[in-house]
Amino acid sequence: MRRLTISRRQYEREHSASRQCPLRRRSQRQNNLATFIAYLKFCRRHRAYHDCIANQLRIFDWVDERRIEMRAEGRPHWVPTEPDFWQAMRDCWDDLVKRI
């Protein structure tokens, strides 16, 4: 049976930065690193948020959707800040795993 979808890694390789544009790849890596660092700061400062892998995936899914919106608005190098993670937590609150 043939697989109809491509892997995420293959999609990113085909649709992200071309081989002629190493600066775009570099800025993408820098944005991803800055996003993860901002997420870690958010987790450390706010104890109401339970930092487990399920919540991290949900929050980063929200960040990815927001990043798509920002690209459509003409801001390709958007990096979320602490208020953005607060907004993500509020928007996803019903789907997040809570502490027992």
Per-residue pLDDT, averaged over 9-37, amounts to: 73
**Contact status, residue 91 vs residue 48, Cβ threshold 8 Å:** no
Confidence check: pLDDT of 34 > 80: yes
Please state, in angstroms and as integers, the Cα–Cα distance from residue 6 to each residue in 10, 13, 18, 29, following that order.
6, 11, 18, 22
- The pLDDT score that the predictor gives to residue 3 is 53
Q: Where are the beta strands (DSSP E) in the chain?
A: none
Confidence check: pLDDT of 96 > 50: yes
pLDDT tens-digit readout, 51-82: 889 889 999 999 999 988 988 898 878 889 98
47 token code pair: 């104890």
Which residue's structure tokens are 């919540």? Answer: 55
Q: What is the pTM of this model?
A: 0.69
**Contact status, residue 77 vs residue 27, Cβ threshold 8 Å:** yes
Q: 69-91 as b/e, with b when 16 or more CB fall inside 10 Å?
A: eeeeeeeeebbbeeebbeebbee
Confidence check: pLDDT of 25 > 70: yes
Per-residue pLDDT, averaged over 36-57, amounts to: 89
- The pLDDT score that the predictor gives to residue 1 is 46
